[in-house]
């Protein structure tokens, strides 16, 4: 059964076409700079040369139509007709408290989803535009929403409530939501397979360390605590985001530099993190290189990042009362032995011992701890698109089979 996975951002659409349940990737690609003069399509059919073209694309509806046209293109497409696509899975940033799992987008669910837009005004409208475009260009094909927040809906009130008046939670839904849920869920499922132990019996600390970064405490397959909060700005120091700070700093910054609300938001999201600290780059590879040349600010940016990851691992261990495994995923987590080594250097209290040889692995699944390590340390490449395809397949396969009978 062919499943199309879509990830619609404010100015981009990423897509993958997968055959499920075999998990075979048939094609992937993206359209960037939607609405600008130099919008571009990159299309990579499996086993063939990728195609890059400048295109004229004004909005998400045009972008989705182009994706669909490309998939059935006689030269670069992989399928003969759109009727071969049996379901579409959409990455959706925010599902609020309404969505605790992925759902098929019925009319009722669509209405509920529209109500979540206020919680993620930069992301959900783009996701909705992608969904509406599919409803237009592929009528009758089941659409599934897979939320970044849903996995964290199992976090208890003691962890998701802020120290704010309770009415603000009741009226405005101000609380911790957490993000990267699809990634944390995917790697936890892989870890259970790798360790040959059921998720129900595992306490896991998953570290998604990419440009955006978060740490999650998972017990029995359910998220118990996570570092991101009401928005993805909270928690770890990240590529360009500040992470947790003293909240009093925000009015202080606004007064001192005359920032208005959108300026301060932009500043904290785009100019801070290891970029702001190092003055070098938001990319950890550049910062590691500069630190190697003796650049003090690059070195201190890495030290602040490592300290922040260690603190959140510590708080996750406290919430879980120990851990069976620590997992590294996403760009940095999968590919930087030196940062993994630095992070693990002060975790002996978990009974954790990294194997320096095994830790050299990059971008593939591996157990990188010593035989005797009480807490396993694993590298697991994340695959959010596959997780979306798995949920989409799981939710629609039965209905489609029944319809075909």
- For 283, what's the count of Cα atoms within 13 Å in the CB-facing half-sphere? 5
Decide if residue 381 touches ligand ADP (CB under 6 A): no
Run of H or E including 184: helix 181-195
Concatenating the DSSP letter of every residue in 297-327 gives HHHHHHHHHHHHHHHHHHHHHHHHTS-SEEE
Q: Which residues contact 68 (CB under 8 A, 6 or more apart)?
A: 82, 137, 138
Q: Closest separation between CB of residue 313 and ligand ADP, Å? A: 18
**Between 6 and 113, whose beta carbon lies closer to ligand ADP?**
6
Q: Closest separation between CB of residue 284 and ligand ADP, Å? A: 3
**Between 9 and 45, whose beta carbon lies closer to ligand ADP?**
9
Only one of the segments 57-65, 135-143, 284-292, 348-356 lies at the binding site for ligand ADP (rule: CB under 6 A); that segment is 284-292
Of 196-225, binders to ligand ADP (CB under 6 A) are 210-212
**Which two tokens mark 38?**
């130099």
Cis bond leading into 21, ω under 30°? yes
x/- track of binding to ligand ADP for residues 288-307 (CB under 6 A): x-------------------
Choice among 19, 62, 83, 148 that is catalytic: 148
**Between 151 and 393, whose beta carbon lies closer to ligand ADP?**
151
Q: Closest separation between CB of residue 233 and ligand ADP, Å? A: 14
Cα–Cα distance measured from residue 342 to residue 356, given in angstroms and rounded to the nearest whole number: 11
> What totals of helices (H) and strands (E) does the chain contain, helices first?
14, 14
Of 322-341, binders to ligand ADP (CB under 6 A) are 330-332, 335-336
Cα–Cα distance measured from residue 31 to residue 17, given in angstroms and rounded to the nearest whole number: 15
Cα–Cα distance measured from residue 193 to residue 198, given in angstroms and rounded to the nearest whole number: 8
**Which two tokens mark 102?**
């992925």
x/- track of binding to ligand ADP for residues 222-241 (CB under 6 A): -----------------x--
Indicate the pairing of strand 376-379 with strand 325-329: parallel
**Between 96 and 331, whose beta carbon lies closer to ligand ADP?**
331
**Between 233 and 375, whose beta carbon lies closer to ligand ADP?**
233
**In the block, residue with structure tokens 């696509």:** 85
Q: Using CB atoms, what's the residue nearest to ligand ADP?
A: 331
Only one of the segments 57-65, 86-94, 165-173, 283-291 lies at the binding site for ligand ADP (rule: CB under 6 A); that segment is 283-291
Q: Closest separation between CB of residue 170 and ligand ADP, Å? A: 33
Indicate the pairing of strand 13-19 with strand 24-32: antiparallel
Q: Closest separation between CB of residue 318 and ligand ADP, Å? A: 26
**Between 142 and 333, whose beta carbon lies closer to ligand ADP?**
333
Is residue 98 within 8 Å of residue 150, measured between CB atoms? Answer: no
**Between 105 and 238, whose beta carbon lies closer to ligand ADP?**
238
Distances (CA, A) of 314 to 160, 205, 237, 341, 359: 18, 10, 15, 16, 21
Cα–Cα distance measured from residue 100 to residue 19, given in angstroms and rounded to the nearest whole number: 26
Q: Closest separation between CB of residue 64 and ligand ADP, Å? A: 22
Q: Closest separation between CB of residue 397 and ligand ADP, Å? A: 28
Known active-site residue 148? yes
Cα–Cα distance measured from residue 321 to residue 63, given in angstroms and rounded to the nearest whole number: 48
Q: Closest separation between CB of residue 339 and ligand ADP, Å? A: 6
Say if residue 321 is exposed, middle or buried (CB neighbours under 10 Å; 0-12, 13-18, 19+): exposed
Of 250-269, binders to ligand ADP (CB under 6 A) are none
Residue of the chain from 73, 97, 283, 355 that contacts ligand ADP (CB under 6 A): 283
* Count of residues touching ligand ADP (by CB under 6 A): 13
**Between 53 and 271, whose beta carbon lies closer to ligand ADP?**
271
Concatenating the DSSP letter of every residue in 25-87 gives EEEEEEEESTTSTT-EEEEEETTS--EEEE----SHHHHHHHHHHHHT-TTT-S-S-GGGEEE
Of 171-200, binders to ligand ADP (CB under 6 A) are none
Residue of the chain from 53, 285, 307, 374 that contacts ligand ADP (CB under 6 A): 285
Residues that bind ligand ADP (CB under 6 A): 210-212, 239, 283-285, 288, 330-332, 335-336
Residues classed as catalytic:
148
């Amino acid at each position: 059964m062919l499943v199309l996975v879509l990830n619609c951002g404010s100015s981009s659409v990423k897509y993958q076409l997968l055959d499920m349940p075999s998990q075979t990737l048939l094609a992937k690609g993206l359209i960037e700079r939607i609405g600008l003069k130099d919008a571009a399509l990159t299309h990579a059919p499996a086993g063939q040369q990728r195609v890059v073209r400048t295109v004229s694309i004004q909005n998400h509806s045009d972008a989705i139509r182009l994706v669909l046209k490309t998939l059935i293109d006689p030269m670069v497409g992989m399928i003969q007709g759109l009727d071969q696509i049996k379901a579409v899975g959409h990455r959706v940033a925010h599902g609020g408290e309404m969505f605790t799992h992925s759902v098929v987008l019925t009319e009722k669910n669509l209405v509920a989803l529209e109500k979540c837009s206020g919680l993620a005004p930069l992301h959900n409208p783009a996701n909705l535009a992608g969904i509406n475009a599919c409803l237009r260009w592929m009528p009758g094909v089941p659409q599934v929403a897979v939320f970044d927040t849903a996995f964290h809906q199992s976090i208890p009130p003691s962890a998701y409530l802020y120290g704010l008046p309770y009415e603000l939670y009741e009226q405005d839904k101000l609380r911790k939501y957490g993000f990267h849920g699809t990634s944390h869920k995917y790697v936890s499922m892989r870890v259970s397979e790798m360790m040959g132990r059921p998720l129900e019996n595992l306490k896991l600390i998953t570290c998604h360390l990419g440009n955006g970064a978060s740490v999650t405490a998972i017990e029995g397959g359910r998220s118990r605590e996570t570092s991101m909060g009401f928005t993805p700005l909270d928690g770890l120091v990240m590529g360009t985001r500040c992470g947790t700070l003293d909240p009093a700093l925000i009015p202080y910054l606004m007064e001192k530099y005359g920032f208005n609300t959108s300026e301060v938001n932009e500043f904290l999201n785009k100019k801070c993190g290891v970029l702001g600290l190092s003055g070098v780059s938001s990319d950890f590879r550049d910062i590691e290189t500069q630190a190697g040349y003796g650049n003090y600010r690059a070195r201190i940016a890495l030290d602040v990042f490592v300290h922040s990851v260690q603190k959140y691992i510590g708080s996750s261990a406290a919430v879980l009362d120990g851990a069976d495994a620590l997992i590294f995923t996403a760009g940095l987590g999968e590919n930087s032995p030196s940062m993994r080594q630095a992070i693990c250097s002060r975790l002996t209290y978990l009974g954790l011992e990294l194997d320096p040889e095994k830790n050299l692995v990059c971008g593939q699944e591996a157990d990188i701890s010593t035989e005797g390590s009480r807490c396993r340390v694993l590298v697991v490449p994340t695959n959010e698109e596959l997780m979306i395809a798995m949920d989409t397949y799981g939710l629609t396969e039965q209905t489609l089979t029944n319809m075909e009978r």
